[in-house]
Amino acid sequence: MSSSNWQFLKAVPSFNIFSHLWTIYLTLCASSSPDYDLAVSLGRFYLHIAALQELFPWNQVVDYIVAICTERLGKASAANWAHFDNEVHLTHFQGLVAHNPSGSNVASNSKRPPP
């Protein structure tokens, strides 16, 4: 983890804190941008992060957030925010084992119940 990512992780140690900060950012952007679709795209990015944080460790999600936001924050259009960057996603999550958000064992769920 780079030093800038580490600083971000220290300042935003949980998804809950990220949620509060992202809501403020989204509100400021939506109220000051002539791009009416920006709020929707920022909201969709938030939902994407919400899904990721259920599957992967927060520090990995932070690396991904910093990579995306470095390119987009303060300058990207709604279309840019709506674009899923597969390359960045694979760079940060390929090879990681996602954990089951329900906490149950996937293999045990696939077994038939006893007769």
- Mean pLDDT value of segment 67-78: 91
Residue 58, domain member (yes or no): yes
Considering only residues 3 and 115, tell me which one the structure prediction assigns the higher pLDDT. Answer: 3
Q: Which domain holds residue 36?
A: 15-94
Residue 105, domain member (yes or no): no
Question: What total number of domains does the chain contain?
Answer: 1
Classify residue 90 as exposed, middle or buried by CB count within 10 Å of its CB (0-12, 13-18, 19+): exposed
Residue 99, domain member (yes or no): no
Structure tokens at 106: 């996937």
Note the pLDDT of residue 5: 86
| pLDDT over threshold 70, residue 20 | yes
92 contacts: CB under 8 Å, gap ≥ 6: 60, 63, 64, 67
Residue 22, domain member (yes or no): yes
Residue 106, domain member (yes or no): no
Note the pLDDT of residue 107: 40
